[in-house]
Amino acid sequence: MDQEEIFLRLAVALAIGLLVGLERGWQTREESDHQRAAGLRTFALTGLLGGICGLLSLASSPVVLAAGLLAFTGSLAWFSHLEATEEKNFSVTGVVAGILTFALGAYAVLGNESVAVAAAVAMAILLALRDRLHDWVRNLTWPELRSALMLLAMTFLLLPVLPNRPIDPWNVLNPAEIWLFAILIAAISFAGYIAVRVFGDRNGIAVASIAGGLASSTAVTISFARLAREHPESTRLLAGGILLAGATMLGRIVVLAGLLKPSLVGPLLWPALAASAVLLGSAGVLLWRGSTTATQQSDLKIRNPFDLGTVLKLAGLIAVILLFAKGMAERAGTAGLYLLAAVSGVADVDALTLSMTRFAGNEVTLSAAANAILVAAGVNTLSKAAMAGAVGGSRLGRLVGGVSAATIAALGIVALVAS
């Protein structure tokens, strides 16, 4: 390590200490000088001390770094103890932040300085968000915590141990891929739930529609249709919400397909944009015209994002569609594939979308896979219009059905032109 690099790495160690010290000093800015164990200067010196100890360990022995860390930790812990005794504040965050600042200063000299800086930024953010994080924990409900833990367990515990290869005689069912698909849907549902929690359960039809469309536009349709039957004066507003959720669904399937098979975005994008434009334009008109009479807010409640039963059913549905898609592609060709897409689209679009990303470019051509996804989306749009009329009454059915017909026409025309 030459002299220039030594100075650069020590500067990074000092910058890490300054960054953390700035946040710590701001948090304790109301306290008088010499009334806190560590502030801006102390943390800046801590980062530099870690860097110097790292240099000394290179020149002599790693024992120097260990001794420096122990001496610093003991001194900081003692002064923090005195501060806690005086102020009756027994938080250990400052001590942990000091130790981590020392360690990152040393790592900036001994290891990858970019990683050290990134870790310091993450630490500063966590420290700065103290009040927000505490409020979030206080407002956290058990079902929300359970859902988050389940999503983490699905991703980091179960997914790594699943076989990442086909296990069936037809070379189709890959447990790791199927489970990953289920995780993606669960994560999107969780995002929809969080959006409602952030904006409030009753902050308007538009927010509920977008958040609900991320989880299930069919659920939004049924919920709003029931409200329309109970509050006929809000029919236009609720119809706008249903259409907005449908537009969100179209955006969701394009994003899902793009994440798993980027080459599908091209054939899907323009038809989806055309259909979304019809839905969004109509939803905007209905929401604007209906807002003067709709004093009732939506009672849409997105259930806590998912439960294990739902995830297992979704994984099973994906597996079944994968098998049927394989059989249809081999025996009935493209027509059979489209029939499967139409049947699947009555209840769900995501499972068919995820299945097509698995086969696109291999057993099924990209254009056939994209068209199958569009067929499922079109049938799903029509089925939701039928649900709206059956549950919410003829007026809601006419509003949603008319726009849905125009949406499918736009989708089909653009798909034909683009093909």
**Same domain as 173, residue 122:** no
Compute the half-sphere exposure of residue 1: CA atoms within 13 Å on the CB side of its CA.
15
What is the reported pLDDT for 44?
93
**Same domain as 62, residue 145:** no
What is the reported pLDDT for 296?
44
What is the reported pLDDT for 294?
45
Q: By C-alpha distance, which of 213, 182, 171 is closest to 318?
A: 182
**Same domain as 151, residue 123:** no
**Same domain as 149, residue 121:** no
**Same domain as 254, residue 128:** no
190 token code pair: 């969780």
**Same domain as 149, residue 85:** no
Cα 194 from Cα 325, distance rounded (Å): 34
**Same domain as 181, residue 82:** no
Compute the half-sphere exposure of residue 359: CA atoms within 13 Å on the CB side of its CA.
31
Contacts of 206 (CB under 8 A, 6+ apart): 241, 244, 287
Is residue 264 packed enough to be buried (19+ CB in 10 Å), middle (13-18) or exposed (0-12)? buried
pLDDT by residue for the chain (419 residues), tens digit each? 788 999 999 999 999 999 999 988 787 665 555 555 457 888 999 999 999 999 999 989 999 999 999 999 999 888 888 777 777 766 788 889 999 999 999 999 999 999 999 999 999 999 988 888 878 778 777 777 887 888 888 888 888 999 988 887 877 678 887 787 677 667 756 765 676 566 654 456 777 788 778 777 877 787 788 778 888 888 888 899 899 999 999 998 999 888 888 899 989 999 999 999 999 999 988 888 765 554 444 444 555 555 667 667 767 766 776 677 666 655 656 777 788 788 777 667 877 888 888 778 777 788 888 999 999 999 889 988 998 998 889 999 999 999 999 999 999 999 999 87
**Same domain as 257, residue 296:** yes
What is the reported pLDDT for 38?
57
**Same domain as 390, residue 321:** yes
**Same domain as 171, residue 108:** no
| The last residue of a domain, from among 135, 163, 191 | 135
* Torsion angles phi and psi, residue 364, rounded to 5: -125, 140
Residue-number span of the structural domain to which 152 is assigned: 141-418
Q: Are the C-beta atoms of 206 and 225 separated by less than 8 Å?
A: no
**Same domain as 145, residue 131:** no
41 token code pair: 């200067």
**Same domain as 100, residue 239:** no
Tokens 């989880």 sit on residue: 215
| The last residue of a domain, from among 135, 165, 191 | 135
| The last residue of a domain, from among 91, 116, 135 | 135
Cα 349 from Cα 377, distance rounded (Å): 6
345 alpha-carbon distance from chain centroid: 24
What is the reported pLDDT for 202?
44
Domains contained in the chain, number: 2
* Torsion angles phi and psi, residue 360, rounded to 5: -60, 130
Tokens 């068919």 sit on residue: 352
Q: If DSSP states are collapsed to H, E and C, what string results for the chain? A: CCHHHHHHHHHHHHHHHHHHHHHHHHHCCCCCCCCCCCCHHHHHHHHHHHHHHHHHHHHCCHHHHHHHHHHHHHHHHHHHHHHHHHHCCCCCHHHHHHHHHHHHHHHHHHCCHHHHHHHHHHHHHHHHCHHHHHHHHHHCCHHHHHHHHHHHHHHHHHHHHCCCCCCCCCCCCCHHHHHHHHHHHHHHHHHHHHHHHHHCCCCCHHHHHHHHHHHCHHHHHHHHHHHHHHCHHHHHHHHHHHHHHHHHHHHHHHHHHHHHCHHHHHHHHHHHHHHHHHHHHHHHHHHHHHCCCCCCCCCCCCCCCCCHHHHHHHHHHHHHHHHHHHHHHHHHHHHHHHHHHHHHHCCCCHHHHHHHHHHECCCECHHHHHHHHHHHHHHHHHHHHHHHHHHHCHHHHHHHHHHHHHHHHHHHHHHHHHC
What is the reported pLDDT for 287?
82
* Alpha-carbon distances, residue 265 vs 128, 306, 371 (angstroms): 39, 27, 12
Tokens 């890490």 sit on residue: 16
The letter for the amino acid at 202 is: R
